[in-house]
Structure 1
Amino acid sequence: MGESWWDFIASELRQARIRTGLSQEDLAKRINYSASHVSGVETGQRPPKADYLAAMDEALSTGGMFGRMLQRASLVEGTPPWLRAWIDSEREATLLRWYEPAYIPGILQTEAYARMTLSDSLLTAEEVDQRVASRLGRQAILTREHPCQVVAVLDAMVLRRPMRNHPELMGEQLAHLVKVAELPHVQILVVPEDTGLYPALQGGFILATLSDGSVLAHLDHQVRAQVVNQPADVGTLQRQWEAVRGEALSRRQSLNLMKEAAQTWT
């Protein structure tokens, strides 16, 4: 097995310390961690977490290099191999159109919501941590210098589905959804409950428009995801998208509905 991203980061942290002429004890004092913590990270016995790497970036004036490494490691190591190709396309996309009838879309989830959706799976605690980090890392497309345009259509039941025995966490999730929906490059639209049956209820999908104008689709199944690039299939999904979006409320109406729903969970 080759070197993992985590091994690579640990090695780079050690090399950065050595280049500055600092001992582990000296570095520990500078970043306000124990020498044993520094040693544990450098030997791979402790995971290099975000707060530690942020302290390293500041202490060594790296311009955020280790933070970027963590984001990339989270995306790669915490993501199933069959999903990595889609994430590369997602990062390249200039426009994402996302329909979701069951859950808050991954790039709009809070950490608590993401963890709850993964906690009932057959994953280990470590795998859940990695998947959560990967999902949150994907949200960088919304906050980078040239953010991706996102239009998400949600079924209203997504706003009503409780997080078992944690209503306050659902309130936090919907408050976050409202905050993101107010970004100029994000539209979150809701199909109201009184719509009844409508096209695409059988499953969510994502359409990604890439920088060259081509369009790919992503379908998420129980076992694995599928990237669709055949023109006929993409065309079918684009027609489904237009039908679903036609059922949704306006941006302003949807925002008001999300705000109302958020209040019910507090």
Structure 2
Amino acid sequence: MEEPTASLIRTQLRRMRSASGLTQEDFGRLVHYSASMVSAVETGTRPLDRAFLARADEVLKTGDLLTSLLRMAERESQPSWFRPWLEAERSARQLRYFNPCLIPGLLQTENYARTVLRFDTTRPHEEVERQVAARMARQEILTRDCPPLVIAVTDESSLRRRDAVMAEQLAHLVQMADLPHIQLHIIPADAGLHVGLSGPLALAHLAEGGWVGHMENQLAGSAVDDEDATSTLLARWEGVRSVALPHALSIALIKEVESRHGPQ
């Protein structure tokens, strides 16, 4: 069953298009999409598309109504256990991510994210696409006017996965590392055992000064904000960060691994 806000978007799109005196074919020409695409979006047989809705906002002169509603729909589509972390992530001044096996979600390409989300073979295609769109939407915080400082740590093994999506993903990491508010650190393969092998973690430093932590497992995840829990996660973060390479050496390693994938 579709989330209420997604249904509202489709209803508003149909209503505003009709109020403008436009058929689906007329509207399709204006937004540079086919009439069949317009029909599929309005009837719910196609997932909501950010580029389509952005163009619809322009043509219908709605400001950013439809794309704003889409952001709400994407939040609704997230599991309830993940929503508290999303709120912390959006309002944070600093974000810290560690994952020993995967590139952190905020730095994933669309193709990499899609591949990861397909690990769950019980997830329908439409759900995968909704989750990919939601993950890409989260990344908008990286390009807003006042983005948070993002410090991400991952293991060298996550770079060396032999998969078709990795060349694009590594190039994206190098590009993101050029941004002044993004720091990447790689734990080298010869680092040995360390506390991070216990599992991924994320931390958000909020504007009011407190910390929110987040941890995931195979089934779900949890956000924590009490002092004892966040202090433990901060200590484990320091343990992870202490065995990682400096930013410049990490980028050099990423580029070295990228070169082994050959031209994209």
TM over 0.5: yes
Return closer, same or farther for 1:197/1:74 CA change in 2, 3 Å cut-off: same
Q: Which residue of 2 aligns with 1:156?
A: 156
Matches of 1:46 and 1:2, distance apart in 2: 12
SS in 1 for 2:183: strand
Aligned residues: 261
Q: Partner letter of residue 241 of structure 1?
A: W
C-alpha contact (below 8 Å) 1:75/1:133 kept by paired residues: no
Q: Which residue of 1 aligns with 2:22?
A: 22
SS in 2 for 1:82: coil
Cα distance, 1:115 vs. partner?
1.1
Cα distance, 1:36 vs. partner?
4.3
The Cα offsets for residues 195-235 of structure 1, whole Å up to 9 and x where unpaired, read as 11122211010011111111011011111001122211211
Q: Which residue of 2 aligns with 1:120?
A: 119
Q: Partner letter of residue 59 of structure 1?
A: V
Percent identity, aligned pairs only, is 43
C-alpha contact (below 8 Å) 2:47/2:130 kept by paired residues: no
SS in 1 for 2:233: helix
Q: Which residue of 2 aligns with 1:255?
A: 251
C-alpha contact (below 8 Å) 2:47/2:126 kept by paired residues: no
The Cα offsets for residues 148-191 of structure 1, whole Å up to 9 and x where unpaired, read as 1100111111111222xx2xx20110100111111100101111
SS in 2 for 1:94: strand
Deviation larger for 154-163 or 63-72: 63-72
5 Å-filtered alignment, 1:206-221, equals 206-221=202-217
Q: Partner letter of residue 251 of structure 1?
A: H
Return closer, same or farther for 1:183/1:206 CA change in 2, 3 Å cut-off: same
In the alignment, structure 1 segments of 5+ residues that lack a partner are: none
Is 1:264 matched up with 2:263? no
Cα distance, 1:253 vs. partner?
0.9
SS in 2 for 1:76: helix
Cα distance, 1:80 vs. partner?
1.3
Match of residue 176, structure 2, among 166, 176, 180: 180
Matches of 2:155 and 2:82, distance apart in 1: 24
Cα distance, 1:128 vs. partner?
1.2
Matches of 2:80 and 2:107, distance apart in 1: 22
Return closer, same or farther for 1:116/1:37 CA change in 2, 3 Å cut-off: closer
Cα distance, 1:28 vs. partner?
2.8
The Cα offsets for residues 73-99 of structure 1, whole Å up to 9 and x where unpaired, read as 22322x112111211111111111111
Q: Partner letter of residue 112 of structure 2?
A: Y
Q: Which residue of 2 aligns with 1:59?
A: 59
The Cα offsets for residues 28-49 of structure 1, whole Å up to 9 and x where unpaired, read as 3322334444344333343332
Return closer, same or farther for 1:22/1:208 CA change in 2, 3 Å cut-off: same
Matches of 2:70 and 2:76, distance apart in 1: 10
SS in 2 for 1:89: helix
Q: Which residue of 1 aligns with 2:10?
A: 10
Matches of 2:183 and 2:70, distance apart in 1: 29
Alignment TM-score, normalising by the size of structure 1: 0.91
Q: Partner letter of residue 151 of structure 1?
A: I
Return closer, same or farther for 1:21/1:213 CA change in 2, 3 Å cut-off: same
